Amino acid sequence: MSITLADHGIQQALDQLGVKEINLGTSTGKQWFGTGALIESVSPVDNQLIGKVHETTKEDYEKVVKVASESFKVWRKMPAPQRGEIVRQYGELLRQYKEPLGKLVSYEMGKSLQEGYGEVQEMIDICDFAVGLSRQLHGLTMHSERPNHRMYEQYHPLGVVGIISAFNFPVAVWSWNTALAWVCGDVCIWKPSEKTPLTAVACQHLMTKVLEQNDLPEGISCLINGDYRVGEWMTNDTRVPLISATGSIRMGKIVAQAVAKRLGKSLLELGGNNAIIVTPDADIKMTVIGAVFGAVGTCGQRCTSTRRLIVHEEVYDKVKNALSEAYKQLSIGNPLDERNHVGPLIDKDAVNNYLNAIAQVKEHGGNMVVDGGVLEGEGYDSGCYVKPAIAEAENHWEIVQEETFAPVLYLLKYTGDVENAIAIQNGVKQGLSSAIMTTNLREAEKFLSHAGSDCGIANVNIGTSGAEIGGAFGGEKETGGGRESGSDAWKVYMRRQTNTINYGADLPLAQGIKFDL
């Protein structure tokens, strides 16, 4: 007898979240519509069809942008703390629906149930952050060189913000953007990954409740669905001043060129090729915990996943053996079973990329410390379950230079001092997350110095994966250079304006210029 959605508890979650068997995929917050082709959402857990969503048509898209643009004229006039109150209410709904939404995230994407709940918690956290931020959208006051003048700068909402999110964090990254954009006075149009459309439908249903309860205009939160072509409508649209896109480097380059061509703004969060440096002074127990979670969490499908472990020759064999033993303890299977550490890859294409990476390592003569492969048999019928693998490799190999979105960890050996390890770490084109494991203060400070890690995130004695919302998240080089979430990342969602006020009776010019009439 086959297991049903009800057996998983998914049907109950769908019912609680208002997700149907067939869903309209376009929404302006109060209206739902769509006549486009159907997108099927199939779970990588067991190949079951969860539901279907209508794609957004060009006509649908035009309606969404028009409604959003009109809504912005109202939303921007609301005082920022009042906008923060709306975000607070959304955060409260997320607390109420954390269990069903987290379960749907886990089942639709394939990440462990704990990670699914953690993703919703991340949404709650960013809502809390945004509520506080709504009272701190501050500028600066400067002294003028001219008498009886005052200078200051302030920030104004941009308008319509377009958000393109990826399948691996189907809801959290959207919330990073939209919670901040909302308190800044922007309205948002969200195009989720076509691989995880149902979680987006669920989030939009929750926001619709908030809009209706507060008698707010539709268009503050909008949803569109479809493949890259729907995204292209938005990236080429001059009515959308900011595009925030999360995904591959290849996708990011396409988005960046399209937005730059119209002199728009883009916020790009792209691929990572993240490394942990392990020095002779590292705590090996901590190293193993950080490296294993970083490498296998979300089945290696995080942009911050640990791809490379750069280990000093003195402790190389010790670390390699400890990792091998730790990998033997990994439990791979249905992510809804909390006893399992690793769930499936998102689809068969991801599996093929994983197998190709291992094949290339072997072609180079790399040694498989922990062999990979696709799991078969009962519970693995979807064909998306793979064994996390560890390979001894060289940093210059082409496959090591690329990001493989799968649980393949490359062991790299270094000799000499920590500067050599840092050079290896920085010797890739991506620059997202990095870490060093050491109890040596000098090594840690070198790693964090201007001559150290070239990544947007640099950690000491924690892994590369698992960022808190309080810090700005993003990377350098081909990772895109964008920053989301905490710190002053809010400024990207606003336009800066410098103001000068003359409260005197004369009109002196700057730089002492005389222009007498």
Residues acting as catalytic residues:
269, 303
Contacts of 155 (CB under 8 A, 6+ apart): 137, 139, 184, 491, 494, 495, 496, 497
Distance CA 427, CA 73 (A): 47
In total, the chain counts a number of residues equal to 517
Query: CA 1 → CA 7, 454, 478, distances in Å?
Result: 11, 54, 48
- DSSP string computed for 200-244: HHHHHHHHHHHHHHTTPPTTSEEE---SHHHHHHHHT-TT--EEE
C-alpha torsion angle, residues 114, 117, 119, 120 (rounded to 10) = -170
**Structure tokens, 197:** 């459309």
**Phi (first) and psi of residue 431, to 5 degrees:** -155, 55
Tokens 């990377």 appear where? Answer: 475
Contacts of 442 (CB under 8 A, 6+ apart): none
Closest to 248 measured CA to CA, from 349, 392, 361: 349
Distance CA 280, CA 303 (A): 27
Distance CA 234, CA 255 (A): 10
Task: Tell me, rounded to whole angstroms, the distance of Cα 6 from its chain centroid.
Answer: 30
Query: CA 103 → CA 11, 111, 191, distances in Å?
Result: 10, 10, 21
Closest to 437 measured CA to CA, from 273, 276, 272: 276
**Structure tokens, 210:** 């908030």
CB 341 within 8 A of CB 332: yes
Tokens 């080429």 appear where? Answer: 236
What are all long-range contacts of 503-509, with beta carbons under 8 Å and residues at least 24 apart?
A: 503/148, 503/149, 503/150, 504/147, 504/148, 504/149, 505/148, 506/147, 506/148, 508/146, 508/147, 508/149, 509/146
Distance CA 302, CA 168 (A): 6
**Burial (CB count within 10 angstroms: exposed 0-12, middle 13-18, buried 19+), residue 444:** buried
**Phi (first) and psi of residue 496, to 5 degrees:** -90, 140
Tokens 């304006």 appear where? Answer: 497
Query: CA 154 → CA 137, 141, 161, 241, distances in Å?
Result: 8, 9, 19, 18
Distance CA 432, CA 474 (A): 6
